[in-house]
C-alpha cells in the first residue's frame, strides 16, 4: 500500500466486521533472531512483514544468514547458524548493520553478536535512523561490558551507533542489567544466554537491577525460547533473576506467529467507540502477548468484550434510548459513552496509547500511570499524545510518567502530527469517530508494524454502511442505472469511473505521462475534487462535461492499470460509504472496493448495443462521434480493463448478472431495486 503525504479521514459513522491480524511484531522479531541462532532449519508461518521485521531480516542476511523468502503463503525459511554467524567482518572491514528505528532489533542483536563473536572474532557496526541514535542503550552495553564484551559508542556515549569487536568473554556466571528503562535489554540477554552459557560451560544467571517494566514482554521472550528448546528458570528473591543452562537453541522445524495484540487494540477500540461489533482474529484467550490485557482495560471503560481461543470481539452495548450509528439515522452528537478510568499501564505500554484516544470518548477524565517508557520510544509519546489530544480540544495534564486526559465536549477538526511513530498514526485515526474531520500527516509511518492499517480500517468502516455495487463494462448503462437506483433508495451515489477520469484529466493538465505511475498516484491522492450532485469540480472548476469526452475515458482506462493509482483511489472511494447507504458503480466495486457489499450487480450488454448507446450519448451532448470507431475503441477498452493484472473487470462472486441489451433503463432499475429488497429482507429482516 502506497500512502500519500497526508490522508483525510472524514467523520466515521460506524464500524463492523472481522480483521485477520498481521503477525505479532514482538514474536516475529524474537523468532527470526532465535531461528538464526538455532541448530536446524525453521519455517516461520504468518511472520509479520513490516519495516521492523525487514531491518531484522536484512541485518541477519548481512551476517551471512541463509533466509529464503520466496514462499507465497508468507512463510519464511531460516537456515540456522547454530550460534555462529558466517559473516562477522573484521577490524578493517566491519560488517555494517542498519536497524532503522527498531529498538527490539538493536537490543536483541547486540547481545547475540557479542555471544556469537566471542567464538569467531570479527567486528560489526550497528546504526539506525536519527531517532534511534537518541534512544538509550547504556544499561545493556554496561551489562555486556561487565562480562568482557568490547563495545564502543561511535556517537554520543550511551546511545547507538555502536561498534562491537569479537573477543572471548570473561569467565563469570552472572550478568546484571537494569530493568527500569526498557525490558528489551533483558530480552536481548535472555536470547543470547544459551550461547553464553555454552562458552562458560555452566548456567548463566541474569540479575535484574531496579524495577522491571513491561514484564509481559519477558513472558513472550520466555515462551518463544521454550518453543526453541530453551528453558528459563525465574527466581524472585533475593532479587529478580533468570537462569539458563548451557543449551542448544534448536529449531522445532515449523513455528506459527500469533496475530499482533498491539495492532488488535485499534480495532477493539474502534468496536467500542464506533459501536461494532468488531472481531480481531489471531489473538485470544490462548495468546502469549501481554497486550491482550488491553481488552480488559477497554471493558473497564464500558465496552462489551467477548473472547474465543484465537479471537476477541468488542462492541458497545447501547442503552435503549441512545442513538446508534447502525440505526440508519445520521448521528451528529459526539459519542461520550465510555467511562474514564485510572489505570497503571506498566504492563501494556504500547496498547495504552490506544486508551489515551479512547479517553476522548469518555464522560469523565482518564489517568494513565506508570508509562515512563513512553518518553524513550519512537518519539516522546507522553509529549506527543498530549499535544495531539490538545489539538482535538482535550485538556491534558502530564507528569514524568503519567498523563491525564479531560475529554472535550466535542472534538475539533485537527491535522494530527505523527512524529514518525506508527502508533500515533493508528491510535489517533480513531478520533475520526468523533464527528470531526481528522487529517493524519505521514500515514505511511504505519509501515513499521502494520503497512495495511488504513486500508483495513477503511474497509471495516465501509462495512457499517449498506452498499450496492454495480460493475460492468463501459457504456453498459451502469452509471444511469446506479444513479437512478440511488435516488429510489435514498442512498448516496459514487461514480468511481469519474475518479479515474478526473485523475486522467488532472494528469493531462499537469503534462504527466500515462506511464508515470508514481506521479499519477500522487495526483490521484491529492487531486482536489468535489461532487455536487451531477456537477463535478476539479480544483473548484466545473469539469462535468470535460471528463465525459471519449479521449479522457480512454486515458482513464490507461491510468487505471497502475496498482499505485488504484491503491490511492481505494481509500477515497471507501470514504463515500455513508449512512443510510451507497450505490457505487465501476469495474471493481464488488471485487475490491466493497467486497462486503450487500448486493453486487454485474451489468452488461452486447458490444454493438453499448457502442450505439455511447454514440447517442455523445451526439446528445454535442460531441461528434463515429459509430464504427466507437465500437472498436470500446472493444479495446474492454480488453484492457478485463486483462489488467490488478482488479480486472469481471463479475464478483455472487453477483447478479443482468444483460441489458433488450431491456429499458426502467426495467433494469426495477430489477436492481427488487434484488436489493430481496437480499435486505434476507440479511436484516427489514426492507431498506
Assigned C-alpha cell, 548? 465525459
Please say which residue, 381 or 478, places its beta carbon nearer to ligand DC. Answer: 478
Q: Residue 396, SS3?
A: strand
* Helices within 201-258 (DSSP H only): 215-227
Nearest residue to 421 via CA among 389, 375, 381, 370: 381
Min dist. Cβ of residue 482 to ligand DC (A): 10
> 593: which DSSP letter?
I
State the minimum distance, in angstroms, from the CB of residue 40 to ligand DC.
Answer: 48
Is-catalytic flag, 400?
no
DSSP state of 255: E
Q: Give the residue among 212, 233, 331 at the shortest CA–CA distance from 273.
A: 331
Say if residue 514 is exposed, middle or buried (CB neighbours under 10 Å; 0-12, 13-18, 19+).
middle
Q: Is 250 helix (H, G, I), strand (E, B) or coil?
A: strand
Residue number with CB closer to ligand DC (292 or 498): 498
Identify the CA nearest to 181 among candidates 142, 214, 134. 214
Nearer to ligand DC, 179 or 497 (CB): 497
Nearer to ligand DC, 114 or 589 (CB): 589
With respect to ligand DC, which residue has the nearer C-beta, 410 or 549? 549
Strands of the sheet containing 656-659, edge to edge, are 492-495, 582-586, 467-471, 599-604, 656-659
Question: 3-state class of 239 per DSSP?
Answer: coil
Which residues does 533 contact at the CB level (< 8 Å), separation at least 6? none
What does the angle CA 676 – CA 497 – CA 571 come to, to the nearest 5 degrees? 80
Residue 500 C-beta: closest distance to ligand DC, Å: 3
Ramachandran region of residue 586, left (φ > 0), alpha (ψ -120 to 50) or beta? left
Q: Which strands sit side by side in the sheet containing 204-209, from one edge to the other?
A: 174-178, 204-209, 241-244, 233-235
Q: Which residue is nearest to ligand DC (CB)?
A: 497
- What's 144-199 look like in SS3? HHCCCCEEEECCCCCCCCEEEECCCCCCCCEEEEECCCCCHHHHHHHHHHHHHHHH
Catalytic residue, from 52, 248, 291, 350: name it: 350
Question: For ligand DC, which is the closer residue by CB, 36 or 597?
Answer: 597
Q: Name the site residues for ligand DC (rule: CB under 6 A).
A: 474, 496-497, 500-501, 553, 556-557, 560, 586-588, 637, 641
DSSP 372: G
Taking the complex as a whole, the smallest distance from the CB of residue 516 to ligand DC amounts, in Å, to 17
Cα separation of 37 and 335, whole Å? 50
Q: How many CA atoms lie within 13 A of 154 on its CB side?
A: 13
Whether 221 contacts 191, CB under 8 Å: yes
Between 392 and 507, name the residue whose CB sits nearer to ligand DC: 507
Query: Could you tell me the smallest distance in angstroms from the CB atom of residue 646 to ligand DC?
Result: 9
- Residue 492: CB minimum distance to ligand DC, A: 16
User: By C-beta, is 468 or 560 nearer to ligand DC?
Assistant: 560
Nearer to ligand DC, 251 or 496 (CB): 496
Q: At a CB cut-off of 8 Å and minimum separation 6, what does 444 contact?
A: 2, 3
Q: Measured from the CB of residue 548, what is the shortest distance to ligand DC in angstroms?
A: 8
Shortest reach from residue 63's CB to ligand DC, in Å: 45
CA dihedral sign, ordered 63, 69, 75, 78: negative
Enumerate the active-site residues.
350
Amino acid at each position: 500500500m502506497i500512502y500519500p503525504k497526508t490522508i483525510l479521514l472524514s467523520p466515521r459513522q460506524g464500524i463492523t466486521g472481522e480483521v485477520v491480524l498481521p503477525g505479532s511484531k514482538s514474536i516475529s522479531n524474537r523468532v527470526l533472531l532465535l531461528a538464526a541462532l538455532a541448530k536446524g532449519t525453521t519455517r516461520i508461518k504468518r511472520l509479520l512483514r513490516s519495516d521492523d521485521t525487514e531491518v531484522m531480516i536484512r541485518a541477519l542476511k548481512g551476517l551471512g544468514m541463509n533466509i529464503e523468502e520466496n514462499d507465497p503463503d508468507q512463510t519464511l525459511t531460516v537456515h540456522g547458524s547454530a550460534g555462529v554467524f558466517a559473516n562477522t567482518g573484521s577490524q578493517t572491514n566491519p560488517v555494517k548493520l542498519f536497524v532503522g528505528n527498531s529498538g527490539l532489533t538493536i537490543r536483541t542483536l547486540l547481545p547475540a553478536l557479542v555471544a556469537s563473536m566471542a567464538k569467531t572474532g570479527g567486528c560489526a557496526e550497528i546504526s539506525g535512523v536519527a531517532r534511534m541514535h537518541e534512544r538509550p542503550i547504556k544499561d545493556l552495553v554496561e551489562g555486556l561490558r561487565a562480562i568482557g564484551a568490547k563495545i564502543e559508542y561511535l556517537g554520543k556515549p550511551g546511545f547507538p551507533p555502536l561498534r562491537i569487536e569479537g573477543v572471548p568473554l570473561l569467565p563469570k556466571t552472572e550478568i546484571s542489567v537494569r530493568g527500569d528503562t526498557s525490558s528489551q535489554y533483558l530480552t536481548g540477554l535472555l536470547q543470547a544466554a544459551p550461547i553464553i552459557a555454552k562458552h562458560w560451560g555452566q548456567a548463566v544467571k541474569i540479575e535484574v537491577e531496579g524495577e522491571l517494566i513491561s514484564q509481559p514482554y519477558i513472558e513472550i521472550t520466555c515462551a518463544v525460547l521454550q518453543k526453541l528448546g530453551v528453558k528459563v528458570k525465574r527466581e524472585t528473591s533475593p532479587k529478580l533473576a533468570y537462569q539458563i543452562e548451557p543449551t542448544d537453541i534448536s529449531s522445532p522445524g515449523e513455528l506459527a506467529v500469533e496475530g499482533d495484540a498491539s495492532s488488535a487494540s485499534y480495532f477493539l477500540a474502534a468496536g467500542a467507540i464506533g459501536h461494532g461489533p468488531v472481531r480481531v482474529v489471531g489473538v485470544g484467550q490462548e495468546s502469549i502477548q501481554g497486550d491482550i490485557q488491553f481488552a480488559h482495560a477497554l471493558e473497564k471503560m464500558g465496552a462489551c468484550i467477548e473472547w474465543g481461543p484465537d479471537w476477541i470481539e468488542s462492541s458497545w452495548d447501547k442503552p435503549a434510548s441512545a442513538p446508534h450509528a447502525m440505526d440508519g439515522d445520521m448521528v451528529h452528537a459526539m459519542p461520550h459513552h465510555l467511562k474514564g478510568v485510572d489505570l497503571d499501564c506498566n504492563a501494556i505500554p504500547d496498547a495504552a496509547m490506544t486508551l489515551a484516544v479512547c479517553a476522548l470518548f469518555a464522560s469523565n477524565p482518564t489517568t494513565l500511570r506508570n508509562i515512563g517508557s513512553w518518553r524513550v520510544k519512537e518519539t516522546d509519546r507522553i509529549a506527543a499524545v498530549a499535544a495531539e489530544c490538545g489539538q482535538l480540544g482535550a485538556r491534558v495534564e502530564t507528569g514524568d510518567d503519567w498523563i491525564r486526559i479531560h475529554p472535550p465536549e466535542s472534538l475539533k477538526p485537527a491535522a494530527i502530527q505523527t512524529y514518525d511513530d506508527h502508533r500515533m498514526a493508528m491510535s489517533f485515526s480513531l478520533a475520526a469517530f468523533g464527528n470531526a474531520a481528522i487529517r493524519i500527516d505521514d500515514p505511511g509511518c504505519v509501515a513499521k508494524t502494520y503497512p495495511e492499517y488504513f486500508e483495513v480500517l477503511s474497509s471495516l468502516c465501509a462495512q457499517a454502511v449498506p452498499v450496492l455495487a454495480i460493475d460492468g463494462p463501459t457504456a453498459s448503462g451502469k452509471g444511469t442505472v446506479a444513479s437512478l437506483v440511488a435516488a429510489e433508495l435514498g442512498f448516496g451515489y459514487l461514480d468511481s469511473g469519474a475518479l479515474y477520469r478526473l485523475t486522467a484529466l488532472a494528469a493531462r493538465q499537469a503534462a504527466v505521462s500515462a506511464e508515470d505511475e508514481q506521479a499519477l498516484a500522487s495526483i490521484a491522492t491529492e487531486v482536489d475534487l468535489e461532487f455536487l450532485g451531477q456537477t463535478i469540480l476539479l480544483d473548484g472548476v466545473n469539469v462535468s462535461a470535460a471528463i465525459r469526452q471519449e479521449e479522457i475515458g480512454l486515458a482513464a482506462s490507461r491510468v487505471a492499470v497502475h496498482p499505485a493509482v488504484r491503491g490511492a483511489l481505494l481509500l477515497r472511494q471507501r470514504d463515500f460509504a455513508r449512512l443510510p447507504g451507497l450505490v457505487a458503480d465501476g469495474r471493481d466495486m464488488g471485487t475490491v472496493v466493497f467486497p462486503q457489499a450487500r448486493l453486487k450487480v454485474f451489468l452488461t450488454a452486447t458490444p454493438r448495443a453499448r457502442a450505439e448507446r455511447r454514440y447517442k450519448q455523445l451526439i446528445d451532448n454535442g460531441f461528434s462521434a463515429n459509430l464504427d470507431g466507437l465500437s472498436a475503441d470500446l472493444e479495446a477498452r474492454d480488453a484492457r480493463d478485463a486483462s489488467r493484472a490488478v482488479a480486472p473487470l469481471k463479475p464478483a462472486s455472487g453477483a447478479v448478472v443482468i444483460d441489458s441489451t433488450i431491456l429499458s433503463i426502467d426495467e433494469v432499475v426495477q430489477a436492481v431495486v427488487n434484488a436489493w429488497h430481496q437480499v435486505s429482507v434476507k440479511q436484516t429482516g427489514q426492507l431498506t
